[in-house]
Amino acid sequence: MQKQRLVLALIVVLVIAAITTLVKIPIQLGLDLQGGAQLTIQVKTTPEIKQITANELEAVLSVVEGRVNGLGVSEPVVQTVGGDQILVQLPGVNDPKEAERVLGGTAQLDFRKQKPGTEAQLPIEQQVRQGLLLKQTELRKTGDTKAIAENQAAIERSNQAILQLFEPINLSGKNLKDAGYQPTQSGNGWEVSLRFDQDGGNKFAQMTKELAGTGRTIGIFLDNALISSPVVGPEFAQTGITGGNAVITGNFTSQSSKELAVQLRGGALPVPVEIVENRTVGATLGQDSIRRSIYAGAGGLALVLIFMAVYYRVPGLIADVALVIYSLLTLAVFVLLGVTLTLPGIAGFILSIGMAVDANVLIFERTREELRTGKTLYRS
């Protein structure tokens, strides 16, 4: 008896928690429900690059993802389509032209040297920026567009504060021929390799000669945001890092070294892109879809509840309560996991309710058979 009370108490607590979650945290809505912009980006070839490879497409994808994050959009979708296109979906974006301007340009990759006397300030500014980036990740889960925009503005100010700690040396992505990642020679970690053209190699050698052993860092910036700040060892104080090749070492994992190499390639890649489609999904269409979906779901659920209660009596009422609890808990889990709800997602949710009803029907039909044999409801 006590065990049953504990189970009942647990169910009540879960239901209250689910209702509280649904009231306080809004459900993330997809493009088809919330409205917004959908852009298709065409990656184009050049006389130097005859064919777009998977590596080049991945590099451009990384740049586009970074720019989309800069828009402060909640739950965007960025994915490749075929071998030379990128699809971008931006729920809630009211000005698709702004998104087109931001996404249509080529990323700016440049190398800078840290100014003397800023050694103590840089880690402080980096810590502030990291805190803002973590906050932005959490805000995107809430869907609070105003807070997301305000925090994005704070991130931009932080980026500018870090940028002021470095001085340009006229070494940019145009001078970077390639970037890759590989295990270190000891095999205990990962590193990122750089390969410059002749002019870039000379500038890189001069910069590393000046910074070697000083504690000041090389600033690698992508769209004015610091993506890496390696230190030059004192062994390069006489000549700098020559030959046009260099490696960046640190606490890299396979994934983090790959991400940095992709960012570097993306900024350095002279591949033009073109917005071939900029389609707007109106909020009216989204609201109409939501209303119709709610009516369909609520109507179907009501009919199922009535049927269960009339046909199965007491067991049917118990099943009705179970279905309502199931619906609340499932929606609460959707919210907590940050699931983006779309029209197909709503259809799948309604289908899952139907499957739960089907399971109850099988159980109750067997229960009726047991009752006909003279057993009690509890034993049945």
* Range of weakest confidence among 103-117, 268-282, 346-360: 268-282
What is the rounded CA–CA span in Å between residue 21 and residue 25?
A: 6
More confident residue, 290 or 292: 292
pLDDT of residue 246: 84
Q: Do the Cβ atoms of 28 and 229 come closer than 8 Å? A: no
Both tokens of 303, joined, read 């009919």
**Structure pTM?**
0.51
More confident residue, 67 or 210: 210
Backbone angles phi, psi at 40, to 5 degrees: -115, 120
Tell me the pLDDT band of 269, cut-offs 50, 70 and 90: very low
What domains appear along the chain, each with residue ranges and CATH number?
A: 2-29+282-372 (no CATH), 36-280 (3.30.1360.200)
Tell me the pLDDT band of 212, cut-offs 50, 70 and 90: very high
Greatest mean pLDDT among 53-57, 160-164, 259-263, 300-304 lies in 160-164
- State the DSSP string of 6-61: HHHHHHHHHHHHHHHHHHHSPPEE-HHHH-EEEEEEEE---SS--S--HHHHHHHH
pLDDT of residue 290: 67
pLDDT digits (tens, 9 = 90+) for 49-58: 778 888 778 8
Task: State the sign of the Cα–Cα–Cα–Cα dihedral 271, 59, 216, 151.
Answer: positive
C-alpha dihedral, 292 to 298 to 299 to 303, nearest 10°: 160
CA-based nearest residue to 59, from 6, 126, 107, 116: 107
More confident residue, 16 or 367: 16
Cα angle for residues 290, 294, 296 (degrees, 5° grid): 120
pLDDT of residue 131: 94
Greatest mean pLDDT among 43-57, 119-133, 223-237 lies in 119-133
What is the rounded CA–CA span in Å between residue 259 and residue 253?
A: 10
More confident residue, 166 or 299: 166
What is the rounded CA–CA span in Å between residue 70 and residue 102?
A: 9
**Over the chain, what is the mean pLDDT?**
81
Q: Do the Cβ atoms of 286 and 32 come closer than 8 Å? A: yes
What mean pLDDT do residues 189-213 have? 90
pLDDT-above-90 percentage for the chain: 15
pLDDT digits (tens, 9 = 90+) for 75-104: 788 888 888 889 888 887 766 676 776 676
What mean pLDDT do residues 184-197 have? 85
Helix (H), strand (E) counts: the chain: 10, 13
Host H or E run for residue 248? strand 245-252
What mean pLDDT do residues 263-277 have? 69
CA-based nearest residue to 279, from 88, 116, 143, 144: 88
pLDDT of residue 4: 76
